[in-house]
């Protein structure tokens, strides 16, 4: 068990195994990850616990096709359907956009995070002044500073060219960015695999891939970076 395996399994929602626990007990980084993950899950549950207005329940029920099975017991079923619809509105509709959109470029971004991110970080970061200069025409570093805390920037080989690997801490989680100044994308594409989500969005020059363990966080960062 290594740190990458621990993160991948934990964020896939499978829960912590004994092997994972043994690793965490001797790894400060993974212990912090588990604590942050638990806090995020608790916050997410709190957001989803939305009181259902009675009038909203009526409107949701009326919007459903008429069927005899919906008639009794009407009061209890009404509340259940309303609560389910509210939850779907908060989570399901957001995740629906990710289904059936496994674009090869977005999948390549996930593959980089799973296989090559640790090696890229170990190679060291480039000087900030150089990063500011190299990304000025595609994704200015100052723009990243307005979204979160830049932890790492370095060039890396990617898809036969050079991308700039950025580790960005946002309030909700960590995301990985792959800035590709020479790779233009006509429209946004997505992919999801093994508990990870990726979105590639066009920039004024080139494109950027965003990878994270939360679809909502990836969507939020993609929206902030979209040209």
Question: Which 3 state secondary structure label does DSSP give 167?
Answer: strand
Q: What single string gives the DSSP state of each residue in 82-106? A: HHHHHHIIIIIHHHHTTTT---HHH
Q: 221: part of which helix (H) or strand (E)?
A: helix 215-225
Q: 196: part of which helix (H) or strand (E)?
A: strand 196-202
Q: For residue 50, what pLDDT is reported?
A: 52
| CATH placement of domain 104-225 | 3.40.1000
Confidence of residue 51 (pLDDT cuts 50, 70, 90): low
Confidence of residue 29 (pLDDT cuts 50, 70, 90): confident
Domain residue spans of the chain: 3-48, 54-96, 104-225
pLDDT mean over 74-90: 46
Mean pLDDT (the chain, rounded): 79
pLDDT mean over 60-69: 51
| pTM exceeds cut of 0.85 | no
What tens digit of pLDDT does each residue of 175-208 get?
A: 999 999 999 998 899 999 888 999 999 999 999 9
Place of tokens 């994308």: 185
CA gap 3, 109 in Å, rounded? 19
Q: Which of 24-28, 31-35, 118-122, 173-177 has the lowest mean pLDDT?
A: 31-35
* 183: alpha, beta or left? (left if phi > 0; alpha if psi -120 to 50): beta
Contact status, residue 190 vs residue 8, Cβ threshold 8 Å: no
Quote the DSSP letter at residue 160: T
Question: Which 3 state secondary structure label does DSSP give 79?
Answer: helix
β-pair type (149-158, 161-169): antiparallel
**pLDDT beyond 60 at 77:** no
Contact status, residue 150 vs residue 135, Cβ threshold 8 Å: no
What tens digit of pLDDT does each residue of 93-141 get?
A: 455 455 556 789 999 999 999 999 988 999 899 999 999 999 999 999 9
């Amino acid at each position: 068990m290594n740190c990458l395996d621990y993160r991948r399994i934990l964020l896939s929602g499978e829960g912590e195994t004994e092997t994972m626990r043994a690793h965490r007990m001797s790894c400060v980084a993974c212990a912090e990850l588990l604590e942050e993950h638990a806090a995020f899950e608790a916050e997410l549950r709190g957001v989803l616990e939305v009181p259902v207005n009675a009038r909203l329940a009526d409107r949701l029920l009326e919007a459903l096709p008429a069927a005899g099975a919906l008639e009794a017991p009407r009061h209890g079923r009404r509340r259940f359907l309303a609560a389910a619809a509210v939850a779907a509105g908060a989570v399901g509709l957001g995740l629906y956009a990710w289904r059936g959109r496994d674009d090869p470029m977005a999948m390549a971004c996930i593959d980089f995070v799973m296989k090559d991110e640790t090696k890229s970080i170990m190679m060291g970061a480039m000087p900030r002044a150089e990063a500011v200069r190299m990304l000025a025409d595609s994704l200015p570093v100052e723009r990243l500073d307005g979204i979160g805390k830049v932890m790492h920037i370095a060039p890396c080989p990617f898809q036969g060219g050079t991308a700039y690997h950025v580790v960005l801490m946002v309030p909700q989680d960590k995301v990985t960015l792959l800035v590709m100044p020479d790779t233009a994308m006509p429209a946004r594409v997505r992919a999801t695999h093994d508990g990870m989500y990726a979105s590639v969005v066009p920039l004024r020059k080139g494109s950027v891939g965003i990878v994270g363990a939360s679809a909502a966080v990836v969507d939020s960062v993609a929206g902030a970076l979209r040209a």
